[in-house]
Chains A and B, each alone.
Chain A
Amino acid sequence: MHIFEKWTMTIAAGVILSVATGALAPAIADACGNSMRYETNYPHRAKQPVAQKAPQQVGSVIRAEQAWNKGNWQLTIQEALRAHPTLSKRSHAYMANKDAEFVRAAWLTASAITRANGAFVLDGQAAPEKDDTKRRLQVDWATETLTWLVERNPEDPLFKMLLAESLARTSTGSGKAIELLEEIGEQDLMPDGYGWATLVALYKRAGNEKKDAVKTAGERCTTVGLDEKVCSGDFVELLPEAKLSAKARKKAKTRVAK
């Protein structure tokens, strides 16, 4: 075969291959970043140049976030605590932990506790909790945890919003909650509809003078896709302060947020 013919055939084969590859390429390219790190992380590897964690642990945090995105607070707590059970000890020692994935598990748990108004026990089972005092203590724990995260990341709108949500469950924290939410709302940095819904709840507490603001915040909430029930803000409970002795509070390892 003459070299020119060979050359032409090589080019033709290359073109056909390129076209075929292009046509077969699916829409999502998830080969990089976190997905790559997760998918390449499996136990039988002799060396681990990319991933550092056991896959079950990573998978639990990922599942916790998926559950959080769907509003399944109980499953969020279960999965996050499966990855990092030390969170359930309510010890403040965890605040020295700089592990980024642990931090994610912490805010997911704190947010789920808050959005459920403390209605799940802070342990691996996340059983329902009905006692108001205990519910408030759990929300206080969430407030502490989120305060710690805001201090670490003072500009992060997500942590600000989550902290405001937990503060909104307390009479003493409502003012600060409005301040935080209005600030990120004015900057068009509200991370999701729950921030708007919480603002609706806070404005409603303020009475008629905030009538227009309630309407505006409610509209923003529904526009970003949350249903009317959530956007009414009625799910945000104002929990009474837990009346505990100093000794009992120490035992609960939770301080009331100032």
Chain B
Amino acid sequence: MPHRKHLLRLAAATCLSLLCLVLACEKKPGQDAPDNSTSTKADALEPVEIKPTEVLPAARVEAGKQHILEFECNRCHVIDGVADVPTEKSCVTCHQQILAGTFEAKPEVLQKWQKNIIHLTATPELSAMAPRFKRSWLVDFLQNPHDLRPRVDAQMPRMKISEEDANKLADYLLPEVYAAQQMLPGDAKRGEERINALGCGSCHAMSGGNLQASAIPVKLKPEELALGMKLAPDLRHTRRRFHPATLVTWLRDPASIKPSTKMPKIPMSEQDARDIAAFLITSNLSSLPEVKPPERLPVLERRVRYGEVSEKVFKKVCWHCHSEADYVGGDGGPGNTGGFGFEGRGLSLAEYTAIASGMRDDQGKRTSVFKDAPNGMPWLVAVMYARHVEVAGGKVEGVRGMPLGLPPMTLEEIQLVETWISQGRPR
């Protein structure tokens, strides 16, 4: 009998093992099952609790908020604890409302505008940044913004932010201090396999790294997916941006840190998250190819008049920020009466006489927009060309690229303006 009992126990154990094996191997449609090779190991790992080591004094945070308001960060971003600006001052809200058809205007007007809107339709919400981001990165990024989100054509604009300003802004955005976190042990090689299996590359780019697109193992609404893809940052910068321990929590459950995030919760084990974090932080990144700004085109032979330049350039993009200050109570935009931390330049690009009337220089003196910039180009041309240089990663000393934070004007558009200026600015 004991022998028979033993055999029965053995048979039952074998059946149970086989059943477990079958269940484990069965791949549910549309789901990429967690890697079972580490499931036992993963179960043993407990998530690390992330806690701030210090909270900044309220007065310092409040001073930071005043800086946020001064630089009008809320014209483009939704920010925790900062009131929204009126719709007509918020580029993104206005564009979103027009695209959604909720902006109060005649239907035919809405339809016309909907076709025109290309830029500034989505920006990241600035909330729950403190647990995630390193202060050093934020302070540097605010002063030297770069292309963080490759699928968003607009970038964080190069504003007049000093190191002191950036630190004050960071005081508000990162009111809690998360002291230098240790990286949790992880296998970067395995992390590379997991990140590519879990579909992260379908939304994110990782320039200079090895990240491939694959299906996301969760179901998302198309509009959520589209927005998530649009705002997904380039993972090349993760090692400079993220606190390493928070990154693990973020990977496993982003909404537990930032409830409004568009990043979906993708099922993964603690070990998966640690391995992926190790990959993101320690894998080799190849240096990026040097991008050279394009050469300016020679001026045109044909006659160019103001009407053509206005239609194709000034009233296409420029006048959104450089408009007349008086019609119907408008403020003329930040490029005219000031905004985004800039003093008003008094420049309207909406009318011939206004353009010819120039702008205020750094000393507040009115000066021509056709005068030579430090690089010898007429000022109007220099600022537009400088944007090409900025996008290529460079900087033109003394000239801020325009349009601010947006893709550069095309070389043909710049050529048109330069031709018009070279011909004596005919009306």
Contact = CB atoms under 8 A, between A and B. Distances in A.
B305 A37 contact: no
A29 B116 contact: yes
Interface in B127-182: none
A62 B370 contact: no
Among A28, A65, A192, residue most surrounded by chain B Cβ atoms (within 10 Å): A28
Interface in B210-243: 214-217, 219, 222, 225-226
A101 interface: yes
B422 to A, nearest CB: 11
A42 interface: yes
Contacts of B103: 40
B366 A7 contact: no
B222 A10 contact: yes
Contacts of B356: 157, 189-192, 224
Interface stretch (B37-45, B68-76, B284-292, B310-318): B310-318
Interface of B is mostly: loop
B328 interface: yes
Contact of A34 (B113, B118, B350): B350
Contacts of A189: 356-358, 366-368
Interface residues of A, number: 58
Contacts of B216: 3, 7
B354 A25 contact: no
A80 B315 CA distance: 24
Nearest to B353: A191
A157 to B, nearest CB: 4
Given A40-B109, A61-B327, A28 B315 contact: yes
B86 interface: yes
B115 A192 contact: no
B327 A3 contact: no
A51 B328 contact: yes
Interface in B309-368: 311-312, 315-317, 319-320, 323-330, 332-333, 346, 350-354, 356-358, 360, 365-368
**10 smallest beta-carbon distances between A and B, as pairs:** A100-B326, A223-B424, A225-B427, A3-B30, A33-B323, A4-B215, A188-B368, A34-B327, A31-B113, A191-B353
Interface of A: 2-4, 7, 10, 13-14, 21-22, 24-34, 36-42, 45, 49-53, 58, 61-62, 65, 69, 100-101, 103-104, 155-158, 187-193, 220, 223-226
9 contacts: A27-B312, A31-B98, A49-B86, A101-B326, A101-B327, A193-B427, A223-B424, A223-B426, A225-B426
